[in-house]
A and B are shown apart, each in its own frame.
Chain A
Amino acid sequence: MTMPAQDDLSIAKRVRRFLRDHPLVPLVVLLIGLVVVLEIMRPGIFNERWIGNTIKFAIPLAMLAACQTLTMLTGGIDLSVGIAATISAFVVATQVAILGTPGAIAVSLIPAVMIGIANGIGVGLFRVHPLIMTLGTGLIGTGCLQVYQRTVIATGSSVPEILAWLGTGRTYGAPNSLLVFLPLAALIIYALRRTGFGRLLYAIGENEDAARLAGVRSWQVILALYALSGLIAGITGLIYVGLIKAPSLSLAVPLLLPSVAAAVIGGTSIFGGRGTYSGTIVGALILTVLTTMLTVLQMPEGSRRIMFGLIILVVTAVYVRITEDS
């Protein structure tokens, strides 16, 4: 009877185990791989300017994806973030002339948070399916934005300096939006790992009955969660309007599907209980780099989209292979 010792493992096995226990590593490796491919496709693109641009565009995506990650952890989803962000952006641009920058920023976050609270009440207290609830509040938000837009057509719009500076400016080559994003990301990562609230998100997502048994009133957590999601979406809208500098009525709406994609590519499960925000951030970067690839690929639009889809598939397939058990 031999005792196969625990450390008597081949290097390959050990590498695999390491990758499995640190799922962020393969994700980052895949990201780097994509960048290398891009550089081969378009030599010279990998420069300071491009990196800056990529980060600039990845940040709003990663922030909206934070809303998806957090809600998905509880088995939910937030389809209203695209419109919530857009509303904040539009309100700030139209109110800045009237209220001044600080006032406009403060006022612009209110509707986003209200959408979040409405979601929280619907999902947490009335048990409406998050998908329907957030789809519904998204529609309601869209309508309200259009009505609001009617009332302010004559006032014109302008993007506050500070937001433009945050959205497009750079300091020592680094995008200024990092000033908002890095603390936010650190806070989210910390909150998920080291706070009671974070623990409860995972707990509710995996087994709500078990959480209840442990004395958790889940509606409280859900309400706080969706309100937070709305707030993050609102802040994202502000950063995004600073970046695009054109407050349109559908500004951040196109980011909705990619925000879900960034979270799932980063390893978050839509059924709840599994996922990390650091994975989501890398997922957002991967998607942004893929979009660039799609832009610089010279081929008909149809084949371009096919390539885009296939790359997403291959990247995640490789990732799954590397990280799965035995």
Chain B
Amino acid sequence: MIRFLRSHYWLTGLFAILALLLVLTKIIQPEYGASGLDSLARAALPFAFAAAAQTVVVIAGGIDLSIASMMAVTSVTAAVMMDGSSEQYAIFVVVFVLCLGALMGTINGLLIVLTRVPDIVVTLAMLFVWEGVALMILKAPGGAAAEWLKGLLVGPLSIPGIPASVTVWFPKSLILLAVCLMVVWIPFRRSRFGLSVYAIGSNSLAAFRTGVAVNRVKVGAYAMAGLFAAMGGLVLTMSTGIGAPIPGPYLLASVAAVVLGGVVLGGGRGGLLGPIVAVFILRLVRTDLTFLAVDPNITTIVEGTIMVVVVMIGGLLAVRGRRS
């Protein structure tokens, strides 16, 4: 246990901060409870998927600036396809859009590998390309989402046999997030592909010498990022009920969450849980600031300060952890 805590000091610290913030929230707003948790989870969803997407490529030693744009493409595609179509058709739409995301990610990855242009430049260029594609699909916010899809995010999970007073603490959106991430992440971590992603991020020359097909793994990592981005785009459509072609504020947020979450820019180190917890922390900070009815301009200052201070404390803890 101690050994685990020490080797995961960053994650432990993040959880501690999250717990602290939850307590703080309860103090500020004594009524904060299940419904607050529900809206927190719903708010965190798109950020969480964006962070997951960024996490994969950052671990692989890259960076993807086109995540928010890919989310926009998948969001408008889903909204346009579901507009005026049947509820069952939406199942096909979901599958299609997930494939589309993986395809876009694959294109990003292939371009990086084939052109040998640095990741940041390629994905910067693709940021514009995917944005353009989203605009071509939908000129202005519009489209629709199937009701059952929208319903997936609303309210608590109901499990027969378990009293509502318990299930109320399990918002469907949180469960959806956990399921979607685990379905992809757990097999990923167990597979040789997952190892290879860490390997190329850690030291791509050594990985090549060990027998990793560096380029193929890189493309795979980007494809996976595309898949997560598609999930993010889908939840955007599910929560707003429409598709919007302008990318939301998910790019910088995803990078911030990844760094806060203890994933090392440059590759090779970190996991998925850290960035996800970081996303929840950032969302909860915003909730608290709203509850406190702080002057909106001060809010921005407070948000910036908290972000910096959290990382500073994290850094100090990390140094302590290493010393002891």
Contacts and interface: CB of A to CB of B under 8 A. Distances in A.
B129 to A, nearest CB: 4
A313 B122 contact: yes
A306 B117 contact: no
A147 B312 contact: no
Nearest to B119: A270
B299 interface: yes
B136 A300 contact: yes
A306 B315 CA distance: 40
B300 A143 contact: yes
B301 interface: yes
Interface in B280-324: 295-305, 307-308, 311-312, 315-316, 319
Interface stretch (A19-27, A96-104, A128-136, A213-221): A128-136
Contacts of A128: 308, 311-312, 315
A301 B304 CA distance: 34
Interface string A115-143: 00000001000111101110111111111
B26 to A, nearest CB: 26
Nearest to B316: A126
A271 interface: yes
Interface stretch (B188-196, B201-209, B214-222, B254-262): B254-262
Contacts of B299: 143
Contact of A269 (B116, B118, B129, B308): B118
B71 to A, nearest CB: 16
A313 B117 contact: yes
Nearest to A269: B118
Most buried by A among B125, B297, B312: B125
Interface in B157-198: none
A162 interface: no
A140 B135 contact: no
Interface string A142-180: 111011001000000000000000000000000000000
B115 A309 contact: no
A132 B122 contact: no
Contacts of A126: 312, 315-316
A136 B307 contact: yes
A170 B265 CA distance: 44
Contacts of A40: none
B308 A138 contact: no
Most buried by B among A137, A143, A257, A309: A309
B260 A132 contact: yes
A261 B132 contact: no
Given A305-B131, A306-B129, A133 B308 contact: yes
A320 interface: yes
Interface residues of B, number: 48
B260 A143 contact: no
A127 B125 CA distance: 31
B117 A316 contact: yes
A303 B136 contact: yes
Contact of A132 (B128, B135, B256): B256
B304 A139 contact: yes
B144 to A, nearest CB: 21
A264 B115 contact: no
A308 interface: yes
Contacts of B120: 264, 270
A3 interface: no
A137 B308 contact: yes
Interface in B83-116: 111, 115-116
A140 B132 contact: no
Contacts of A131: 255-256, 259, 265
B121 interface: yes
Most buried by A among B118, B266, B304: B304
B37 interface: no
A66 to B, nearest CB: 18
B128 A320 contact: no
B308 A132 contact: yes
B300 A140 contact: yes
A304 interface: yes
A41 B316 CA distance: 57
A312 B256 contact: no
B121 A264 contact: yes
Most buried by A among B63, B124, B296, B316: B124
A300 B66 CA distance: 21
Contacts of A140: 300-301, 304-305, 308
Interface string B5-34: 000000000000000000000000000000
Given A135-B252, A264-B121, A312-B124, A127 B301 contact: no
Nearest to B307: A136
Nearest to B314: A128
Contacts of A201: none
Nearest to A139: B304
Contacts of A144: 301
Most buried by A among B126, B132, B136, B295: B132
Interface in B236-272: 252, 255-256, 259-260, 265-266
Given A131-B255, A147-B297, A147-B298, A313 B125 contact: yes
B298 A143 contact: yes
Contacts of B63: 270
Q: What are the nearest 5 A-B pairs in CB distance?
A: A139-B304, A305-B132, A309-B128, A143-B301, A143-B300
18 contacts: A128-B311, A131-B256, A131-B259, A132-B260, A132-B307, A132-B308, A135-B304, A140-B305, A143-B299, A147-B297, A300-B135, A302-B134, A302-B136, A312-B128, A316-B117, A316-B121, A316-B122, A320-B115
Interface of B: 63, 111, 115-118, 120-122, 124-137, 252, 255-256, 259-260, 265-266, 295-305, 307-308, 311-312, 315-316, 319
Given A135-B252, A147-B297, A309-B126, 18 more contacts: A79-B252, A131-B259, A136-B305, A137-B308, A140-B301, A140-B304, A143-B300, A146-B296, A261-B124, A265-B121, A302-B136, A304-B132, A305-B128, A309-B131, A309-B132, A313-B126, A316-B125, A324-B116
